[in-house]
Chains A and B, each alone.
Chain A
């Protein structure tokens, strides 16, 4: 495994001079290619801010983020768009599907934007939808399918261009437990079988237990790191809950 992303001393401040909020404080870590990494923390701990930095949607106040040795904090708007197109895939809590497009078209759009050819688009779309079990609903609109199906569509869209990194922001947040489990299994399969590198932000310890490694954020700083190693998922979940109960994570998680 090689270092895909290096986050070096990233800081992010919000607000005006009189009222500054420090969302991230000198955060540094690395992500290797083929990893399934989780970022945990309570609300306001800076998870989403960190994700926005990595996804280039927001800019850093100071520090650097290297993506395959390229510093993406120095790129301009145009180059960032190109970078996102070529390297990143997104899965969000509220699915972020385009409501005017069908499931298939949502996935296709991600490819047409890259200027791929018609045959390639069709073949790849079909393959991805089959892998994620949504081929039978391809002509439906997002509002016509269940939350789990929507999220799998979002996964398919994130996967279809074979990005180097998939960013997932609370992907199970809007799902019932059954759909959530199914989705996390999908993530694991994507990671293990398709070799996708996934970074998942979550405050749900059950979801986090599917990751191979977890970074804990608190008040904008990384205060702990857990690696799953060879243990079972169940053991890993207990470890996560231990960390959370020690550090005042979600009370519900510690019970």
Chain B
């Protein structure tokens, strides 16, 4: 009998809380898709650094589980409140609290299972289409194959069950504390409407808005010190909550001041509805606004980095293939034959970087450039042990390989080729005449200028800089290390980088190189791309895959979170619409037509939904503008983030709209349902 009761209840709940079931099904399908990709052979074949992807998904799964627990927990409390009368009746009939708790728990697990099952098929579809997107990044055609692992089913099922069990953890205790009386009257508690005596509360709206504006102005003018920034952010969080606390009083004061707006149609009703709803939901709405803002910002910041890295990549890897070797007489024979096996070599150059036992330039940079670091022993540093030089003919040759015009320095000139970041410091040194060492005989070389075109200066052609000197001067210097630069016809094969790395004497087979000398990585702190074997096409694919996985995983977390939050907003409104149905039938008696009633509902839901949406967009936009401005300041690279931001906002808006429409339609159905 109890089993039958459970099933009936599940059937009713799945009707009443359709939006919740569907949301959980969407979450389940996304979980299926992502977990499925973790186990997918197709993905493993495609993605060499597959561990990164697995790590991303695992990290995301953690967040997803937290969100699911939160949502299920919220919904369980909500349902318990709504159905308290029913539970009270069970108690009256002589059921034990334990039994009721068990029924309720079973019902919820069943609801979870329904969502999970409903989500499986779209999950498989998502997995195929996501994998397809990954394949298209690499320009490989994807032959759709049923690549579904039983482990995926088991994992997703396990995670879901885990979340539900955690969320249902305290149900029994909650039932234990309840009495028949409290159960029967719990659902009768209406939202308490009061005329606020404290009219000062409405001032909170102005104070919060003023604070938010000041915050944004400070942010945009970069007028915040790093120390105080946390204080400002704490203030911002407080301002968001206070805004919602004040908003309810603000509406009431608007009514009391008898402004013109309240005499139009049913506006007075709408305002009262909103003020009481916002009053009971203020904490939830404040939290949602903060989380929406964070989600949008996180998306934007990550996209900014992604875009930066994409642009940096082209600058960091101007050559098709580059290989470094400590041996100054290394001939790169193996490497060249390997490269020519797989592709056609258009041009190649083997050359040396030189040193002359001096390090005053490096020391000067260590002293003046922010963010430089000196590692212990052979673990690498910002700069090599010695200052780095190159002969003019080698320099002009590699320039020609990159399509740059050749330069002249005559027999007594020198020039500097460096990254933009260190340009002012080296210019200062050159003006002082202290680039060349005073104790050596080369003091007579004349400074001929500075070049900053991309030249692979993160450890290949020097770290940050090279001093270009006449060939005749090379006699006074010692070869420091050897380099191979190659231009290819067409694209490099996808495994070239791996195969080249494998034949390096310093390669340990696990992705690490062990050099005898101290390697210089350059001063850039932001994700740099360096290594002793660089194959541009391979790196671009690799980075592209890393970017797309990051974007996917972020979108995954963001969408699941958004759906969960919107479910809460929607379920609140839908349950209100049946609880307070009488309000709308009174409006009907007062002569409101169906169309007019629809408009009242639209206004009411519109403002309710718009609040967190608009506030989070305004906030994230300003903070985002600041972040991108700082980014340009630190990196000198204009990251094109706005298209990403707009994309995020668009996705945000579409999901929002879907929930809004579903709520609106459901709301109307509930209030007209006789």
Interface, chain A (partner B; CB < 8 A): 55, 57, 77-78, 80-82, 84-86, 88, 90, 96-102, 105, 108-110, 112-118, 121-122, 139, 141, 143, 157
- The answer to whether the Cβ of B575 comes within 8 Å of any Cβ in the partner chain is no
| 6 interchain residue pairs of minimum CB distance | A85-B591, A81-B593, A100-B272, A84-B591, A118-B263, A90-B589
Q: Are B586 and A98 in contact (CB under 8 A)?
A: yes
B588 in complex: contacting residue of A57, A98, A112, CB < 8 Å = A57
Q: Are A101 and B592 in contact (CB under 8 A)?
A: no
Which residues in B have their C-beta under 8 angstroms from that of A109?
A: 266, 268-269, 590
CA distance A11 to B659 in the complex (A): 43
Closest to A87 in B: B591
Q: Which of B161-204 contact A (CB under 8 A)?
A: 190-191, 193-195
Q: Are A99 and B263 in contact (CB under 8 A)?
A: no
Q: Provide the B584-600 mask, 1 if CB < 8 A to any CB of A, else 0.
A: 01101111111110000
Q: Are B276 and A86 in contact (CB under 8 A)?
A: no
Which residues in A have their C-beta under 8 angstroms from that of B255?
A: 105
A110 in complex: contacting residue of B258, B264, B590, CB < 8 Å = B590
CA distance A115 to B258 in the complex (A): 16
Given contacts A81-B594, A98-B583, A118-B258, contact A112 B263 (CB under 8 A): yes
Q: Are B591 and A81 in contact (CB under 8 A)?
A: yes
CA distance A57 to B585 in the complex (A): 10
Q: Are A141 and B195 in contact (CB under 8 A)?
A: yes
CA distance A114 to B264 in the complex (A): 9
| Minimum Cβ distance to chain A for residue B255 (Å) | 7
Which residues in A have their C-beta under 8 angstroms from that of B273?
A: 100
Given contacts A81-B592, A82-B591, A88-B591, contact A112 B267 (CB under 8 A): yes
Closest to A105 in B: B268
Which residues in A have their C-beta under 8 angstroms from that of B265?
A: 112-113, 115
| Minimum Cβ distance to chain A for residue B399 (Å) | 77
A77 in complex: contacting residue of B190, B276, B589, B593, CB < 8 Å = B593
CA distance A122 to B258 in the complex (A): 10
- The answer to whether the Cβ of B262 comes within 8 Å of any Cβ in the partner chain is yes
Which residues in B have their C-beta under 8 angstroms from that of A82?
A: 591, 593
Q: Are B272 and A96 in contact (CB under 8 A)?
A: no
Interface, chain B (partner A; CB < 8 A): 190-191, 193-195, 255, 258, 260, 262-269, 272-273, 276, 582-583, 585-586, 588-596
A112 in complex: contacting residue of B262, B585, B589, CB < 8 Å = B262
CA distance A139 to B268 in the complex (A): 14
CA distance A96 to B581 in the complex (A): 12
CA distance A98 to B593 in the complex (A): 17
Closest to A157 in B: B590
Which residues in A have their C-beta under 8 angstroms from that of B588?
A: 57, 81, 84
Closest to A154 in B: B586
| Interface CB pairs A-B, < 8 A, 5 | A96-B582, A100-B583, A109-B590, A110-B590, A112-B268
Which residues in A have their C-beta under 8 angstroms from that of B591?
A: 81-82, 84-86, 88, 113-114
CA distance A96 to B195 in the complex (A): 20
Which residues in B have their C-beta under 8 angstroms from that of A77?
A: 593-594
Which residues in B have their C-beta under 8 angstroms from that of A139?
A: 195
Closest to B597 in A: A81
Q: Are B596 and A112 in contact (CB under 8 A)?
A: no
Q: Are A102 and B195 in contact (CB under 8 A)?
A: yes
Closest to A140 in B: B195
Q: Are A55 and B589 in contact (CB under 8 A)?
A: yes
Which residues in A have their C-beta under 8 angstroms from that of B264?
A: 112
| Minimum Cβ distance to chain A for residue B15 (Å) | 22
Which residues in B have their C-beta under 8 angstroms from that of A117?
A: 263
| Minimum Cβ distance to chain A for residue B122 (Å) | 39
Q: Are B193 and A141 in contact (CB under 8 A)?
A: yes
Q: Are A113 and B272 in contact (CB under 8 A)?
A: no
| Minimum Cβ distance to chain B for residue A60 (Å) | 17
Given contacts A78-B595, A99-B193, A141-B193, contact A108 B268 (CB under 8 A): yes
Other CB < 8 Å A-B pairs besides A86-B591, A108-B263, 4 of them?
A84-B590, A100-B273, A109-B269, A112-B264
CA distance A109 to B586 in the complex (A): 11
Given contacts A118-B258, A141-B195, contact A85 B272 (CB under 8 A): no
| Minimum Cβ distance to chain B for residue A9 (Å) | 25
CA distance A77 to B588 in the complex (A): 11
Which residues in B have their C-beta under 8 angstroms from that of A121?
A: 263
Q: Are B272 and A105 in contact (CB under 8 A)?
A: yes
CA distance A81 to B588 in the complex (A): 7
Given contacts A77-B594, A101-B268, A101-B272, contact A57 B263 (CB under 8 A): no
CA distance A121 to B267 in the complex (A): 14
Which residues in A have their C-beta under 8 angstroms from that of B268?
A: 101, 105, 108-109, 112
Which residues in B have their C-beta under 8 angstroms from that of A116?
A: 263
CA distance A155 to B277 in the complex (A): 28
B190, B265, B268, B585, most chain A CB atoms within 10 A? B268
